Amino acid sequence: MNMNTHPRSNGELRCFGNTLVAIRLSSLASDDKISVIEHWMPWGETPPLHVHHREDEVFHLLEGEMRFQIGQREVHASAGQTLVAPKGIPHSFRVESVAGAHCLTITRGDDFETMLRQASQVADKAELPAATAPSPEVIDALTRCCAENHIAIVGPPLS
């Protein structure tokens, strides 16, 4: 994993599915509840199509290439690009670069950060977790956790 910023330099390090994340700025740090989360993802990583009901989700790609579906639009992004998935619009992404991708997500609110904390585990090392396909039980638990945090899973991951 190529990283410009070491995951342990600050922030809480967690494993979220096949992704390593660092919570760089918690929504608890300000009245506006701005959250900044850094992600390191392997090639092919793709969440299910989902909708944030109360938060826009901003993506800033630091390394690699990703393909986004935001509503009916498909966008290919590479390092240095920033885009937004507006609240209420279904979106997903897929890591297209073989070396993986490294990005930031920024939200104003605590729904995404809270869901991520509930659906992840504290990382014991600063590297990608072993790749695994989610079991039906893990998918059900994630779906419930998302719903509790105003995020709806509305379709499958991108292929």
Each residue of 62-98: pLDDT tens digit?
A: 999 999 999 999 999 999 999 999 999 999 999 999 9
**Is 101 in contact with 63 (CB distance < 8 Å)?**
yes
Strands in 19-25's sheet, in edge-to-edge order, are 82-85, 57-63, 101-108, 34-41, 19-25, 12-16, 121-122
pTM of the model: 0.92
pLDDT at 8: 55
User: Averaged over 120-147, what is the pLDDT?
Assistant: 94
**Residue 135 to residue 92: CA distance in whole angstroms:** 20
As a whole-number percent, the residues of the chain with pLDDT over 90 amount to 90
Query: Which of the four pLDDT bands, split at 50, 70 and 90, describes residue 12?
Result: confident
pLDDT of amino acid 120? 96
Query: At residue 102, does pLDDT exceed 50?
Result: yes
Note the pLDDT of residue 1.
Answer: 45
| Average pLDDT in the chain | 93
Q: Rounded mean pLDDT of 4-13?
A: 64
Give the pLDDT score at 80.
98
Tell me whether residue 29 is exposed, middle or buried, using C-beta atoms within 10 angstroms of its C-beta: 0 to 12, 13 to 18, 19 or more.
Answer: exposed
In sequence order, the 6+-apart residues with CB closer than 8 A to the CB of 9 are none
